[in-house]
Amino acid sequence: MEIYLPVAELSANALILLVLGGGVGLLSGMFGVGGGFLMTPLLIFLGVTPSVAVGTGTNLIIASSVSGTMAHWRRGNVDFLIGALISCGGAGGAWLGVYIFKLLRDAGQIDLVVSLAYVVFLGVVGCLMAVESVRATVRRQRTARRKAHVHTWIHGLPLRLRFRRSRLYVSAIPPFMLGFLMGILASIMGVGGGFFMVPAMIYLIGMPTSVVVGTSLLGIIVISSVSCFAHAINNNNVDIILGLLLAVGAVIGAQYGTRIGGRIRAEHLRGLLALMVLAVGGRLAYSLVVMPDDPFAVAPLWGN
């Protein structure tokens, strides 16, 4: 069933888009990640412009993080106060990120920056996960040495608040700043950023692992909503038809992915995810390095 995507300005098969969304949803459910970092590059590989891929990505992430947050909320695994701080910082960051995106697009550099950001983030995160997964497999027999959260200068910052759900009494500034950074990244890369936010919440803020995923998803809903809105009004790059088709597939796929993920050993799962992350990053890096078919590119003149 061919359908014309009004903002992406190309025709695509609706079933293929549903399956694509389902596939990414399946993987994101399996690995417990948002899937934006897979979807945005996939859309670019399919011929959607990086601008529309990022704008539509923010739309898709709203849908998949809502269903994730609901599941965690029912189990009481959401720290609403930290979530609110991340959201406030994130809203500002997301708006700034869209503004940076617009400046880069007008300068003709957005494609490069989006690709580079992916290569760097996917490369770093992929390598860290791969190393961690190998280590965990090697010393699986040993009991995990769980560090109680260590106080650093970060926790000593002013504006301390009591976070009941996380059983923490720490400064409000780190969650706010973390949200702000995530907002910028989300707007430029079209990702939710869970793969970056979750480790930061555990290691920098010292939150208990049980509430981290639900809380980060709550922050991601707000960040991606603000980002989606700012993209829609500044860059006209949100395709609701494309976003909705992918979202329906992703939400369904994620449900099955969660079940499959439960049957695979955690460190193997992380190893697989690391390989996938490195493959996507590698493919993007290759397209930056290899000589383009035509070094010239034509675009409408934005701005003036």
Partner 1 sequence: MRRGLQLLGMAVVAAAIAMPAASRAVAQEHDEPLLIALSTQRIEIDSNFAGTSILLFGATDMAGDVVVSVRGPEEPVVVRRKLRSVGIWVNQEAIAFRNVPGYYFVATSSPLEEIAPVELLDRKQLGSERVLLEAIWFDTSGDADEFRAALHRDRERESLYRSEPGVVEFIDERLFRSTIDLPAHVPTGDYVVEAMLLVDSQVLSTRSAALSIEKAGFSADISTFARADEILYGIIAIALALVAGWLGSFAFRKG
Cβ 117 to partner 1 shortest distance, Å = 13
What's the min distance (Å) between Cβ of 81 and partner 1?
A: 22
Q: CA–CA distance from 252 to each of 1, 3, 249 (Å)?
A: 20, 21, 5
Length of the chain: 304
Closer to partner 1 by CB, 21 or 126: give it.
Answer: 21
Q: Minimal distance in Å, beta carbon 224 to partner 1?
A: 8
Calculate helix-pair angle for 50-74, 209-235, nearest 10 degrees: 150
Q: What minimum distance in Å lies between the beta carbon of 108 and partner 1?
A: 5
User: 293 burial class (0-12, 13-18, 19+ CB within 10 angstroms)?
Assistant: exposed
Nearest C-alpha neighbor of 212 from the set 79, 103, 91: 79
Rounded Cα distance, 238 and 218, in Å: 21
Residue 129 or 247 having the CB closest to partner 1: 247
Report the interface residues with partner 1, using CB under 8 A: 2-7, 9, 11, 59-60, 62-68, 70-71, 108-109, 111-112, 116, 221, 225, 228-233, 236, 238, 240-241, 243-244, 247-248, 251-252, 254-255, 288-289, 291-292, 294-301
Structure tokens at 230: 């700012």
143 versus 293: smaller Cβ distance to partner 1: 293
Of 175 and 281, CB closest to partner 1: 281
Cβ contact 157:67 at 8 Å: no
Comparison of 210 and 234: residue with beta carbon closer to partner 1:
234
CB of 162 to partner 1, least distance (A): 30
Answer positive or negative: Cα dihedral of 113, 116, 122, 125: negative
